[in-house]
Structure 1
Amino acid sequence: MLSDFDIFKNKLDIVAPQGVKSLAAVGSIYGENYKKIDIGSYRNGNMKKLLKDKPSLFEEYALKDSEITLKHACQMEEVFLTVDKIGIPLTLSSLGKLYVIKEWRKQNYLGYQVRKDIMIARGTLLTRYLTNYIEDKANDRS
């Protein structure tokens, strides 16, 4: 069964900056204190052997991975709070969208509009406009 930690760690690549796809790369964002522990050849599917041969290194490695993940989760949660949301964003693009909408609302900007009666930024669907347009054209012909 997956824990919340496993789920966050597996989705780390979608809540990290472009090109930052590994836990080591995420750790490097936060400086030397978040550098992954080098376990050498044990990395290649030999974690049980690492635990047996070097239990203290195994524990240090596991704790550092958890610390990096926790640091990044806390940072993402902190940023998410800036757009009045609680939790961790699903993706960075969803976070960006929320930020833009929050800024638009602060400035009373309605966003890009095809027509005044269509509020794209407020979630009105373009299909409503197209449906109305088609109906108007049909009525004009009759």
Structure 2
Amino acid sequence: GSESLEREEKEGAWFDASAARFACLAADTVVLNIWAQDVARSITQRTPPGGQHLFDGLAEGLYAASSSRSTKQRLLLVFRDMTNIPGCGIDRLEGVIRSELERAWRVASGALLSAGPERARGHLTACVDIQCFGLPHHKRKREE
């Protein structure tokens, strides 16, 4: 997702976005693995979460796929290594990612709307079922 951006690799960012578009067009369910610490860091720094190229590619793919589907596509947001980060519970992390996805959806829909109003498909949640899960850090979870 965002590693290529953090390493300032433009080719890697292009690949990440292309892979996201392909996944959306090919699958009924897309899983987006996100490190909880990365999103929490973006909250504390008041910056968008890293990987804007990934969100743009994801939104473009979801938007394009919505025209050929009779049912909603499912997007699973999986936050990895959830810890007790003050002020950054799963609801807050989900809100940040949803906001970024909605921004990217508006951009994708605007680009396609310029091709003609028949391409309009409504709001993100009208076309995509978004579910959110948090996974604990493997070293910090209780032994069961």
What TM-score, normalized to structure 1? 0.29
**Larger RCO: 1 or 2 (CA < 8 Å, sep 6+):** 2
Larger Rg: 1
Structure with greater helix share of residues: 1
